[in-house]
Structure 1
Amino acid sequence: MDPFQSDPLRGTEAVFPEAEFATRIARLQTRIAPLGVDALLLTGPENIFWATGRQTAGYFAFQALIVPLSGDPVLLVRQLETTGARTATWLRDIRAWQDGTDPAAALGSLVRELGLKRVAIERTGWFIPMDFAERLGTALKGVALSDGSGIVEGLRMVKSPAELAAIRTAAGYAEAAMAAALDATREGASENDIAARMIGTAVAAGSEAWAMEPLISSGPRSGIPHATWRRRRLEAGDGVFLELATSHDRYHAALMRSAWIGTPPAEAREMMDVALRALDAALGAMKPGVPCALPHEAAQRIVDDAGQTEAFRKRIGYSMGAAFAPDWGEGAFLSLFTGVKTLLEPGMVFHLPMTLRRYGAFTVGASETVIVTETGIETLSSLPRSMMLR
């Protein structure tokens, strides 16, 4: 009897059935075949998760997935991580490296044991520092290495029905958390008070750990991109910026809203109006068959015509899906931005944070996470986009 088949832990915490991952591996092997290699070597946590379901808080320790041209993949993880790898995946071959040993050398030995002579390796993983890359090159001396970057990402762009269901569920968590955060936003409350309501509501709604902390800032701090809570108490006249992404089975959905304590100045009201019109224009431009640049260009025209070019200066959106820290999105490989020629397809998912900033003073805007459908888009939140006045 196959010992892995009879393993009582095997797949007990897998996010999807075994057939979902078998299909993914088969699709990946089809993509590998034209490369003229024996296997693809993956090290990025998102790509390993997509291919196998492997997830852990210990992904800071080196891990690698070897996907051969045919047959079962082989996973190499730290010894401490083997139990989690057994429960999270349906894999039959899980190997381990021990603390105190060199994981690069362990991988080199495994590649030789498997008889692999030509290997494509992704060169864009988060957790391969230069020192380790040099050791890996030494460990794989004699193996013909080629660049396998972007192969898995190309498959991750379009989500399966199971992935879309997870993202829709995550979006429900995000909407509940954002509504609670807006309710907690009032004069005298601290940024920490808002963070506690937002995070507590997200977790209570069902969210698991997410890939990046929520962004919660007020007053002049709200005009600093990617600032987050630091105990400041809200005062009359403050702008407030709120953004988060929540997670279901590692799949993320994001949401952003803005608020104001008291009456916003005319400049903020005008900028908010522009931001909402630009977001509407971007969403209205999204449908299958158009390039990813088109929604950005639609928003950019609204921004430029309103004289707010300097307040924007960024992309309108980025792909969403499975994520690990330090980023909740997939913008490293697919954005809605100038020059991106990739065509929108049904099953793609994007977050569109349309913000305008007076840097160091305030930020206004709103966002949506959307799924591209056969005819247009499905918006995953029904929360009003207008600036909430408190």
Structure 2
Amino acid sequence: MDQITEPPASFAGSAAVFPPAEFRVRAATLQARIRAEGADALLLTGPENIFWTSGRQTAGYFAFQALLLPAEGAPVLLVRQLEETGARSDIWFPDIRIWQDGQDPVAELARLVLGQGVRRLAVERSGWFVSPQMMVSIETALSDVVLLDGSGWTERLRVVKSAREQDAIRQAARYAEAGMAAALEACRAGASENEVAAAMTGAAILAGSEAMAMEPLVSSGPRSGIPHATWRRRRIEPGDGVFLELAASHDRYHAALMRAVWIGTPPEEAQRMMDTSLSALDAALGAMRPGQPCAAAHAAAQKIIDAAGFTTAFRKRAGYSMGVAFAPDWGEGAILSIFTGIETLLEPGMVFHLPITLRDYGRFTVGVSETVIVTEAGAQPLSTLPRQITIR
């Protein structure tokens, strides 16, 4: 019988996206919040928060995983046994606990929490990863532990990106630009949406992109007037508008980009909407300065759109935070938005995607976007592609 061998010691942390010091600083900052809230530990279950704190990433996050971060000391990671080797290659600390197929991961989680002597545990009640049924199971298994709400503690720290995180997003932006340039070139009468999507995705991947947290959006003709529609084998015809959007990734950090194409001369209304999108994006970018509320950039864009008479063609937020992403979303829109009523002040190191789209629903969509880093001088776009509608 073949013997099962352990990976060499040098394997530990060999696939980490950042040096251990980066993650230690993050953990220490989060631990300060844990202590301030009077908790013994914080339980992270969302894949984005687990990655941000530990470096752990996998396509197998559909299986339950959790990170226990004590108020003092090193974290402990709980994963499915099949994931242990990959976890060991990613993370900066040694303690990994496992659960086997056929075992109840909640029972293993309870054993870990109680074994660590935790009596006041903060949990991510607003997180999307744990189902309501599993949360009930966790509450039952930890009935002797006081459960506090730790929602948003990690997310608030994720909003401002470190220098290394910004570098990763800049890399992702380069991949996204390569993908968009290829998609623009592929758009022509007779080409299928699939051909455009293949060119877009292939170019982004060849440029360096890893797995994307959401599929690119490629839609043409009347289907381009449907929000979040994507390729379905349709052949592009003369007179069609084509809507293109993608996000590429580097070390799980994403940057997104949107552009519009028209096969032939755009109708006057479509061109006027596109011109409005361009002006609204410029206005939003001009309002994005440190110390200004997120709502100010949205208001600047909305003012342009309203003045042009396209209020009902917009009806959405002007932007959302970007950073670490796992499917089903390439953005951090659940953390922070550029939208009405969001009074969070902009800070250097925040990163946003601003997709300014105007739609004639069921007929066409035109729009433009940029991923930007907030600097001391304002918003810095990460793409150099022309923003005007591309005529084919």
* TM-score bracket, shorter-length normalisation: over 0.9
Gaps of 5+ in 2: 1-5
- Superposition pairs of residues 271-350 of structure 1, within 5 angstroms: 271-350=273-352
1:220 aligns with 2:193: no
In structure 1, what residue type is equivalent to 2:159? Answer: M
Q: Kindly, what percent of the aligned residue pairs are identical?
A: 68
Amino acid aligned to 1:61: A
- CA–CA distance in structure 2, aligned partners of residues 233 and 68 of structure 1: 55
Aligned counterpart, 1:155? 157
Instruction: Write the letter of the residue equivalent to 1:60.
Output: F
Query: What corresponds to 1:35 in structure 2?
Result: 37
Q: Is the Cα contact below 8 Å between 1:5 and 1:92 reproduced in 2?
A: no
Q: CA deviation at 1:125?
A: 2.2
Query: Match for residue 268 of structure 2?
Result: 266
Distance 1:6 1:39, change over 3 A: farther
Confirm or deny that 1:141 pairs with 2:165: no
SS of structure 2 residue aligned to 1:96:
strand
The question of whether the paired residues in 2 share the 8 Å contact of 1:58 and 1:81 is answered with yes
| Greater shift in the superposed pair: 217-226 or 373-382 | 373-382
Q: CA deviation at 1:126?
A: 2.1
Q: How far is 1:268 from its partner? A: 0.3
Deviation at 1:132, TM superposition (A): 1.0
* One of 160, 178, 181 as aligned partner of 2:180: 178
Q: CA deviation at 1:92?
A: 1.3
User: Partner letter of residue 118 of structure 1?
Assistant: R
CA distance in 2, matches of 1:83, 1:162: 25
What amino acid does structure 1 have at the position aligned with 2:337?
Answer: S
Supply the distance in 1 between the matched residues of 2:7 and 2:126 (Cα, whole angstroms): 33
2:325 is paired with a residue of what secondary structure?
coil
Aligned to 1:189, what secondary structure does the other structure show? coil
The one-letter amino acid paired with 1:145 is: L
Amino acid at match of 2:34: I
Residue 100 of structure 1 is aligned with which of 89, 99, 102?
102
Could you tell me how far apart the structure 2 residues matched to 1:134 and 1:300 are? 42
Give the deviation of 1:6 after TM superposition: 7.6
In 1: Cα distance, 2:379 partner to 2:264 partner: 35
**Residue 206 of structure 2 corresponds to residue 204 of structure 1:** yes
Provide, for residues 121-165 of structure 1, a one-character-per-residue CA deviation record: whole Å limited to 9, x for no partner. 011222211221111111111100010000000000000000000
Report deviation, 1:7.
2.2
AA aligned to 1:204 is: L
State the one-letter code of the partner of 1:324: F
CA distance in 1, matches of 2:188, 2:139: 56
Aligned partner letter, 1:178: M
Which residue identity does 1:326 align to in structure 2?
A: P
User: 5+ unaligned residues in a row in structure 1: which ranges?
Assistant: none
In the other structure, the counterpart of 2:112 is: 110
Matching residue's letter, 1:289: G
Residues 289 and 345, structure 1, Cα contact 8 Å, conserved in 2: yes
Alpha-carbon distance in structure 2 between the residues aligned to 1:274 and 1:210: 30
Q: TM-score, normalised to structure 2's length?
A: 0.98
Matching residue of 1:52: 54
2:136 alignment partner, SS class: helix
* Deviations, residues 51-80 of structure 1 (Å, cap 9, x unaligned): 011000000101110110110000000011
Matches of 2:78 and 2:192 in 1, distance apart?
A: 45
- What secondary structure does 1:278 align onto? helix
Judge conservation of contact 1:291–1:341 (CA < 8 Å) in 2.
Answer: yes
RMSD across aligned positions (CA): 1.1
Amino acid at match of 2:294: C
Residue among 25, 28, 37 paired with 1:26: 28
Q: Which secondary structure does the structure 2 equivalent of 1:315 belong to?
A: coil
Task: State the 1:374 CA deviation.
Answer: 1.0
Q: Give, in angstroms, the shift of residue 5 of structure 1.
A: 12
> Hey, what does 1:10 align to over in structure 2?
12
Q: Distance in 2 between matches of 1:289 and 1:190?
A: 46
**Partner Cα separation in structure 2 for residue 342 and residue 188 of structure 1:** 47
Runs (4 or more) in structure 1 with deviation over 4 Å come to none
